[in-house]
Amino acid sequence: MKITKLAINHLRMPLVSPFETSFGRAEERESLLIEAFSEGMSGFGECVADRDPGYAYETSGTAWHILQEFIAPLVFGVDFSSPQDFPDLVSPIRGHPMAKAGLEMALWDLAGKLGDVSVQSMVGGKQETVPVGVSVGLQACPEELVDVVEEYLADGYQRIKIKIKPERDVGDTGAVRRAYPDILLQVDANSAYNLGTAQSLLPLDDMDVLVIEQPLAEDDLWDHRTLLSSFRTPLCLDESIVSLRHARQALEMDACRIVNIKAGRVGGLTNGIKIHDLCRSKGIPVWCGGMLETGVGRAANLALASLPGFKLPGDISASSRYYQQDITNESFTLNPDSTITVPQCPGLGVTIDRRALDQYSVKKVILTAEDYSN
């Protein structure tokens, strides 16, 4: 499979409701959609870097730059026998896992379409459906949070994740727990604490919380290890796990009990699968995180989350939870048992609504090998 052309669209899409985390409030979601062409077919990949470097250092702008200047020229001229060749090819480019993952996803979709096989079966997933939950942003006050949670429970979500930050942690979690004593509930701090301030989270230990996700800084495996022993509730890492090596070291130093896997954060599905395999061999449960993806990224998340080591519900919600109008013709809906069905058609199993794509594109570039010929 030789890539003859790449098209990159920079998207800006309005969210159905603002999404607030400890690192900021967003009313729109930016991302890049990458289309890779070969043998008369094309595949799509989503780069999950957002407008601001709040969750990670990458942005839609840095990913655009890295893709156009450094990744694209490496890709032209290579004959891929599998998308799994991609991580080694781009390893000379330091960092920038989201930029890499966006293009790798397009290779998975394209290889699946050319070989008439679903990405789910390419990655080795078997389950037809995947258990999912919903990630709820910070609200104006605990009472409003309880109202929003009530709506999602009415939609059928059987696991709720709430965002927390200092001063908005124990009160918010307690309010949801008192309103709903039996639901599966977890919290995500997105790195808002340090070893000192994280002591304020100790009351969560009595609130039957599934996991406390990423309380400390991204580059702080060691302090997570120190913090972990203060809690009975399992600590889970998201931002800190940016590669297979980080996953291995986190497990070796006992910095977490559970791992959130996002293909975008770790440079693509190939690395995501390797982290899954490692955690499974060590008996560490994993679950699939989300980045407010469009239908393209959501399809890839569902394929990944259908691997057997994904033991907790994923942050993979119905399309309507994110966007009024998605860029895929297919939309994902929640099954009555709080699962979403994994697409079975070749590749990622979704098709692009070109009108919606044009509507949300703020910038577009088409690249071929000739663009790099001197």
| Smallest separation (angstroms) from ligand OSB to the CB of 292 | 5
Out of 31, 84, 118, 190, which residue is the one contacting ligand OSB (CB under 6 A)? 190
**Binding-site residue total for ligand OSB (CB under 6 A)?**
11
User: What does the chain come to in residues?
Assistant: 374
Cβ-based nearer residue to Mg ion, 96 or 163: 163
Buried b vs exposed e over 245-261: b needs ≥16 C-beta within 10 Å?
ebbbebbeeebbbbbbb
What is the per-residue binding string for ligand OSB in 92-131, x denoting contact by CB under 6 A? Answer: ----------------------------------------
Q: Which is nearer to Mg ion, 287 or 332 (CB)?
A: 287
Of 120 and 190, CB closest to ligand OSB: 190
- 238 near Mg ion (CB under 5 A): yes
Nearer of residues 73 and 285 to Mg ion, judged by Cβ: 285
Q: Which residues are catalytic?
A: 163, 262
Q: Which residues pair with 9 in a beta bridge?
A: 33, 364
For residues 49 and 262, is the Cβ–Cβ distance under 8 A? no
Q: Which is nearer to ligand OSB, 110 or 292 (CB)?
A: 292
- Among 35, 46, 104, 188, the residue binding ligand OSB under the rule CB under 6 A is 188
The verdict on 291 binding ligand OSB (CB under 6 A) reads yes
Minimum distance, C-beta of residue 241 to Mg ion, in the bound complex (Å): 11
Beta strands in 125-257 (DSSP E): 129-131, 134-136, 159-163, 184-188, 212-213, 235-237
Cβ contact 107:81 at 8 Å: no
Q: Which one of residues 20, 30, 109, 188 is an interface residue with Mg ion (CB under 5 A)?
A: 188
Nearest position to ligand OSB, beta carbon: 290
H or E stretch at 25: strand 24-38
169 lies in the site for Mg ion, by CB under 5 A: no
Instruction: Return d(Cα 110, Cα 120) in angstroms, integer.
Output: 13
For 54, other C-beta atoms within 10 Å of its C-beta total 16
Q: Tell me which DSSP letter residue 302 carries.
A: H
* Nearest to 47, CA basis, from 86, 9, 92: 9
Q: Are 43 and 106 in contact (CB under 8 A)?
A: yes
Q: Which helix (H) or strand (E) holds 363?
A: strand 361-368
In the window 200-259, what residues touch ligand OSB (CB under 6 A)?
238
Question: At closest approach, how far in Å is the CB of 248 from ligand OSB?
Answer: 22
Query: What pairs with residue 32 in β-bridges?
Result: 10, 47
Cβ atoms of 263 and 269 within 8 Å: the answer is: yes
**Whose Cβ is closer to Mg ion: residue 213's or residue 330's?**
213
Extract the tokens encoding 10.
Answer: 């920079």
Residues 305-344: x/- map of binding to ligand OSB (CB under 6 A)? ----------x-x---------------------------
Interaction site with Mg ion (CB under 5 A): 188, 213, 238
Interaction site with ligand OSB (CB under 6 A): 55, 135, 188, 190, 238, 289-292, 315, 317
